[in-house]
Structure 1
Amino acid sequence: MPIQSLNPATGQLLRSFDALTPEQLESKLALAAQAAVTYPLEPLGQRAFWMRRLAIQLENDADDLAALMTAEMGKTLRSARAEVLKCAAGCRYYAANADSFLAPEPIESEHAQSYVRYDPLGVVLAVMPWNFPLWQVFRFLAPALMAGNIGLLKHASNVPQCALAIEALVRRAGFPRGVFQTLLIEARQVEAVLADKRVAAVTVTGSEAAGRAIAAQAGWLIKKSVLELGGSDPFIVLPSADLDAAVTNAVQARLINNGQSCIAAKRFLVHTAIYDEFETRFVAAMQATVVGDPMRETTELGPMAMPSAVSALVTQVQAAVAAGGRLLCGGRPGFGENAVDTSAVPGCFFPPTVIAGVPRDAAVAKEETFGPLAMLFRVEDVEDAIELANDTPFGLGASCWTNDPEEQERLAEGIQAGCVFFNAPVASDPRLPFGGIKHSGYGRELSSAGMREFLNAKTVVVEGVASPADQPSLFEHPEPEPLPAMAPPMEPFLERDPDLLPLRSHSIFGRSRGSE
């Protein structure tokens, strides 16, 4: 079955790729295994040099990479461009900080010397989603490669061009062949890849169902796994909050990435004393959102990524209304009332939708809603807000709006989530650990915590030798060659790597030659 790239705003077939044959897949696995032996021997300074060059590649190609993302999965061009630059920032962060993250840690003990060193696990399979086609990958890629691991990417099937572009960027930055490869395979082939003895670990970002299946297999194989799954994040607004800021950020927190983000605010829990005013202003702001062609700079909400996502959201809206919810705006597929361009195909568009009064015990009130659907709830006080916030299988993030220090402390303590943000929407940051609890997954991405997920913390004890101060550093590395102002051209890598030849047809890889 071909792997197809479709434009959700127009329905146009962009590209079609054949899945790897068993022989091609074996070749890539063998190359990864070979790289796992040689690449960790590269000095850390050299890895950092390549990682900084990768950041330069991203910055130089930001506009074209953004256009590619928008074409394949529909995010607005503005947000796509910001995503590319965030990836570059992540690369620079790990290039600058890997030295301290990986440095051996001395441990005081009765031994002459004892310390912990951090060694790479080897080949790590990354199963990634379509909603942030670059950032989801780079927040694994940057720490993994700096740590000396090898990456195999199984990206979502609707963003194959983004997946191939990432591999090309890594090669173009100078990383050795085999250090990072894209596997154009079907979902059913993931099981065989994970079972391969050359693969040491797996990281998954995606649905709860996908996470369960892969984690079960990884557990059976006794292979390390990290899961970043769904969320039903609460957005809590209490009387001491700046209501103007809360309303503005509530709209942004719900509609980020066309509403398709695991950390987007899904449930809006508003104190009864300010609920009516918040509802009125929030609904008006949602209705004022500019819907249309995601390639337009003025568009604020583009299409959902695929027709099936629209169908799923329709089902949830119907369930919410059937349970007793009041539909305040939106609710039907299409452009809504504030479209600026109706040349796109309405089948993948869904307008900003707000529903109030859904019973707390309704199933839809606890689910993840992946699209521009917001549900409003009244809460009586901080304790009521905490109880409702936690009344979901998920535990990814929470955004809380209050200027009361005691309320902030109680919310930070009481909310069951991987992160709690005050007076700001939830966001990922290379410097901060990211991940969830409960059905939102386990393990952490980003910061030093994310890097160490795929490292072996090896205890080393030495007796009968000179004191540690008299011994050479365990972490010395030569200075790399000077960093160039511009990245090297793509063509030499394409000439040597037939797997990347199809990429020539896209503008970010030089002049167009058509598909080969």
Structure 2
Amino acid sequence: MEYTSTNPYNGKLVAKHRGHTSDEINSLLALSQVAFKEWRKVSITERAKLMRRAGEELRENVEVYAEMITLEMGKPISESRSEIKKCASVCDYYADNTQDFLADEIISTEASKSFVKHEPIGTVLAVMPWNFPFWQVFRFAAPTLMAGNVGVLKHASNVLGCAKMIEEVFSNAGFPSGVFQNLIFDHEQTENVIKHEAIKAVTLTGSEGAGAAIAALAGKYLKKSLMELGGNNAFIVWKDANIDQAVEIAVKARMLNCGQSCIAAKRFILIDEIYEEFVSKFLSAVAKLKSGDTLDDATQIGPLARKDLADDLHEQVKKSIEAGAELLAGGNQNGCFYEPTVLGNVKPGMPAFDEETFGPLAAMIRAKDIDEAFELAENSKYGLGVTVCTTNIDLALEMSARVSDGAYFVNELVKSDPRLPFGGTKKSGYGRELAKDGMMEFINRKTIYVKK
């Protein structure tokens, strides 16, 4: 099967990629098994040298890799560069910390000696999305490979050029053959891959539907799974907040990557007293964002990655307006490009409130007080993260228990950091990536008990 990669900004062909046959997939998975037997024996010190070299490879070729991101999924080039640099940082982080993370955990019992030993489990399949085509992969690959596991990647079909380059990063860094491989196959082949004896675990970043399908297959074949799925993050602004600062954070939180992020702020829940001021300043800030050629350093807003994504967003906007939302800005579509859009007086029951909106759409929501703001924030099937803007830090920390999401940020947009665990609750998935938690997801915590 052939897959086509098309630049969403100008519609030009980027490349065509041939899918692997079933026989080729089986051969590659068999290679991963052979590679694992040797890779697990490699010392953490040696693994760390290679992982640091992968980080250097990314930094030395940042322009090449960033351009491929921009060409394939339309992200402004400045954001693509930042993504590559973040990937390098996660390589460094796990190179620096794995020795401590995997150290034996001594536990006092009646035994002469008892402890937990941390061992790799084998081949981990990663099903990854197009919106952060390098970062999503590296935040899986760095801890997985440093733990002594091997990885196989099934990337989104519109960013297969990125997938091939990621494989090259590890190859150029000196990782042995079979430790990290890029597999190109269709959805119909997914079950055969997951049930293969080589695969010991599956991690997916993607939509709720994709997560449910992959999690069901992982369960069917008793494979460990981690799901990082959709989000509908609330961005709550209290009346005591620094409004100018909150607006600056809010614009980044919604418009970064043209709003194509599971952890983007999507529902802006504003206390009545500051609603008009916040909305007015937000509209002014959004109006200044520059759209244009995604390879231009000055461009801040690019197209959505595919036309069907823009179509879906436009439908959500139209239905929300029909349900009573007020169109304050934007609302226009031109192919893959969707104008930054702001809807006012959004309420539960509207798509802009209830659904994940994957694009540059900001929903403005009124709340009479803090209690109602948190009730509105919790009124979602998703649970990735919440931002609270306020000058009352003590109260904000006290109120963190009101949020069931996996992250709670005060005066900052929700974002991933290699040093902090990342993941959600409810329909946003389960398990944690990054930090020590992310490494432990695919580790055999083996109990050792010695009695003399």
- Counterpart-to-counterpart distance in 1, 2:273 and 2:398: 19
Q: Partner residue of 1:88?
A: 88
Q: Partner residue of 1:62?
A: 62
How many residue pairs match? The answer is 452
Structure 2 length-normalised TM: 0.99
Runs of 4+ in 1 over 2 A off after TM superposition: 361-364
Q: Partner residue of 1:191?
A: 191
Unaligned runs of 5+ in 2: none
Paired residues for 1:350-369 under 5 Å: 350-369=338-357
Deviation at 1:222, TM superposition (A): 1.1
Q: Partner residue of 1:376?
A: 364
- Counterpart-to-counterpart distance in 2, 1:204 and 1:61: 27
- Counterpart-to-counterpart distance in 1, 2:438 and 2:144: 9
Choose from 434, 437, 440 the match for 1:449: 437
Give the letter for the 1:437 counterpart: T
Q: Partner residue of 2:309?
A: 309
**Equivalent position SS for 2:396:** helix
Asked whether 1:403 is paired with 2:423, we answer: no
Deviation at 1:186, TM superposition (A): 1.4
The more displaced of 429-438 and 218-227 is 218-227
Choose from 414, 420, 445 the match for 2:402: 414
Q: Partner residue of 1:495?
A: none
- Counterpart-to-counterpart distance in 1, 2:162 and 2:350: 38
Q: Partner residue of 1:436?
A: 424
Deviation at 1:353, TM superposition (A): 0.1
Q: Partner residue of 1:242?
A: 242
Q: Partner residue of 1:394?
A: 382
**Equivalent position SS for 1:5:** strand
1:281-320 CA distance string (max 9 Å, x none): 1112112211111111111101100001001101100111
> Are the aligned partners of 1:382 and 1:411 in contact in 2 as well (CA < 8 Å)?
no
- Counterpart-to-counterpart distance in 1, 2:121 and 2:320: 46
- Counterpart-to-counterpart distance in 2, 1:366 and 1:450: 29
Q: Partner residue of 1:293?
A: 293
Paired residues for 1:326-337 under 5 Å: 326-334=326-334
- Counterpart-to-counterpart distance in 1, 2:273 and 2:194: 53
1:227-263 CA distance string (max 9 Å, x none): 0000000011011211111011111110011110011
Give the letter for the 1:370 counterpart: F
Paired residues for 1:215-294 under 5 Å: 215-294=215-294
Paired residues for 1:472-487 under 5 Å: none
The more displaced of 283-292 and 112-121 is 283-292
> Are the aligned partners of 2:352 and 2:363 in contact in 1 as well (CA < 8 Å)?
no
- Counterpart-to-counterpart distance in 2, 1:63 and 1:13: 20
- Counterpart-to-counterpart distance in 2, 1:215 and 1:228: 11
- Counterpart-to-counterpart distance in 2, 1:190 and 1:91: 28
Asked whether 1:9 is paired with 2:9, we answer: yes
Give the letter for the 2:341 counterpart: T
**Equivalent position SS for 1:298:** coil
- Counterpart-to-counterpart distance in 2, 1:3 and 1:407: 52
> Are the aligned partners of 2:316 and 2:351 in contact in 1 as well (CA < 8 Å)?
no
Deviation at 1:449, TM superposition (A): 0.1
> Are the aligned partners of 2:127 and 2:204 in contact in 1 as well (CA < 8 Å)?
yes
Q: Partner residue of 2:182?
A: 182
Give the letter for the 1:216 counterpart: A
- Counterpart-to-counterpart distance in 2, 1:10 and 1:160: 18
Structure 1 length-normalised TM: 0.87
Deviation at 1:109, TM superposition (A): 0.9
> Are the aligned partners of 1:382 and 1:407 in contact in 2 as well (CA < 8 Å)?
no
- Counterpart-to-counterpart distance in 1, 2:382 and 2:395: 22
- Counterpart-to-counterpart distance in 1, 2:216 and 2:234: 29
> Are the aligned partners of 1:433 and 1:447 in contact in 2 as well (CA < 8 Å)?
yes
**Equivalent position SS for 1:197:** coil
- Counterpart-to-counterpart distance in 2, 1:222 and 1:22: 22
Paired residues for 1:12-161 under 5 Å: 12-161=12-161
1:145-168 CA distance string (max 9 Å, x none): 000011000000000010000001
Deviation at 1:217, TM superposition (A): 1.0
Deviation at 1:363, TM superposition (A): 4.3
Give the letter for the 1:240 counterpart: D
1:429-458 CA distance string (max 9 Å, x none): 000000000000000000000000000111
Aligned-pair identity (%): 46
> Are the aligned partners of 1:323 and 1:359 in contact in 2 as well (CA < 8 Å)?
no
Unaligned runs of 5+ in 1: 335-346, 465-516
Higher normalized strand content (fraction of residues): 2
**Equivalent position SS for 1:273:** helix
> Are the aligned partners of 1:323 and 1:358 in contact in 2 as well (CA < 8 Å)?
no
- Counterpart-to-counterpart distance in 1, 2:102 and 2:347: 49
Deviation at 1:364, TM superposition (A): 3.8
Deviation at 1:411, TM superposition (A): 3.1
- Counterpart-to-counterpart distance in 1, 2:399 and 2:220: 37
- Counterpart-to-counterpart distance in 1, 2:403 and 2:74: 33
1:82-112 CA distance string (max 9 Å, x none): 1000000000000000000000100011110
Give the letter for the 1:360 counterpart: P
> Are the aligned partners of 2:387 and 2:414 in contact in 1 as well (CA < 8 Å)?
yes
- Counterpart-to-counterpart distance in 2, 1:407 and 1:318: 38
- Counterpart-to-counterpart distance in 1, 2:411 and 2:91: 28
Q: Partner residue of 2:450?
A: 462
Give the letter for the 1:219 counterpart: G
Give the letter for the 2:342 counterpart: V
Deviation at 1:406, TM superposition (A): 4.2
- Counterpart-to-counterpart distance in 2, 1:287 and 1:331: 13
Larger radius of gyration: 1
Does the C-alpha gap of structure 1 residues 290 and 435 become closer, same or farther in structure 2, counting only changes over 3 Å? same
> Are the aligned partners of 1:313 and 1:371 in contact in 2 as well (CA < 8 Å)?
yes
- Counterpart-to-counterpart distance in 2, 1:252 and 1:364: 19
> Are the aligned partners of 2:317 and 2:351 in contact in 1 as well (CA < 8 Å)?
no
- Counterpart-to-counterpart distance in 1, 2:359 and 2:52: 35
